[in-house]
Amino acid sequence: MPSNAPTAAKLALEDGTVYAGQAIGAAGEVDGEVCFNTSMTGYQEVLTDPSYRGQIVTMTYPQIGNYGACDADAESARPQVAGFVVREESRTASNFRSELTLGEYLKKHNVVAIEGIDTRALVRRLRTAGAMRGVLSTVDLDDASLVAKAKASPGLVGRDLVREVTPGEATSWSQPLSNWTQLDGGGAQASGDGPHVVALDFGMKWNIPRHFAGRGCRVTVVPGDTSAADILAREPDGVFLSNGPGDPEPVGYAVETIRGVIGDTPVFGICLGHQLLSLACGAKTFKMKFGHRGANHPVQDLTTGKVEITCQNHGFAVDPESMPSDLEVTHRSLNDGSIEGVAHRSAPAFSVQYHPEASAGPHDSHYLFERFLSAMRGS
């Protein structure tokens, strides 16, 4: 066999389906929940989003990698996905900002990835049956063995994945938004003399603290298991609850912390932070069939009637039948009617299920940062 021949790889699902393709990343074997993302771009942000911890992500767009990868586009220090699946990797990276091709980036960061499978068939199966446990391998190509491993893998329900991605200690954040954020090429400057935001990091994407710093806030990032007493001792003007991976219900320590700060300071949550705020107020969450993952999800702000195009990444949601009297629904998905935002009726606390720091709209949801800023200044 020629030395440059592609390395075989296989993806097996717990229902017995096996897809054969070629490896485009590191050699190895990984397990995780197999899900899909419908974004046409943003693959590096997907790879490095800690909310994807424990998941093998399939991109539905047929060719991925055509603008390469660069450090400035990362949402964390390293890729966080368990594995990566594409129909075809672009061998050419056409972008003056590119530092590596997608394949080089995956190999550099030891990400197991596959191309050459029918991603349309895979996504149709996941849409019909729901997200499934799976195994992606370049070392074991025996179908029966891979399916057995997929069935034995832990999945996401009941696992506290926040422990795997939360930082070990508190840090200060001062990096503002990129100059590319503004149409005129001028990025916001971090002055640090604005309100003090204490951000509970459950697996936070880096663009979130950039938004706070770019608005002049002093930002302190603390581990996700920090207590309410420790947070309030830092004298915050507001507490931010970040995104993060997996099932919110096992993260009980964060729920207790949130209960301890509501009413003492303004609170703003995104994604997992939205689910944890809802749990802290008495709501329940449930696992969705295949979740929302993409950059074109329409959401309506029920307080204004406006519709925004949002970026989303979640497999759990707040149960509308469990909504407590303290919370009101402020946003809903126009795709399936699921809850996309809530607000506390008597305390300055609100949250959204989607990612306002991302550029889906591209600026449709930035008003939420301004709303939080106003709440902090009012406090």
Known catalytic residues? 271, 355, 357
Helices 252-261 and 272-280, axial angle in degrees (round to 10): 70
Closest to 356 measured CA to CA, from 302, 299, 304? 299
> What is residue 240's three-state secondary structure?
strand
| Tokens describing residue 363 | 């600026």
Measured in residues, the chain has a length of: 379
12 - beta bridge partners? 18, 135
- Buried b / exposed e along 94-115 (16+ C-beta atoms within 10 A): eeeebebbbbbbbbebebbbbb
Can you say whether residue 271 is alpha, beta or left, with left for phi > 0 and alpha for psi between -120 and 50 degrees? left
CB 228 within 8 Å of CB 261: yes
Beta-sheet strand order (sheet of 267-270): 171-173, 218-223, 196-201, 238-241, 267-270, 349-352, 339-344, 327-333, 285-301, 307-318
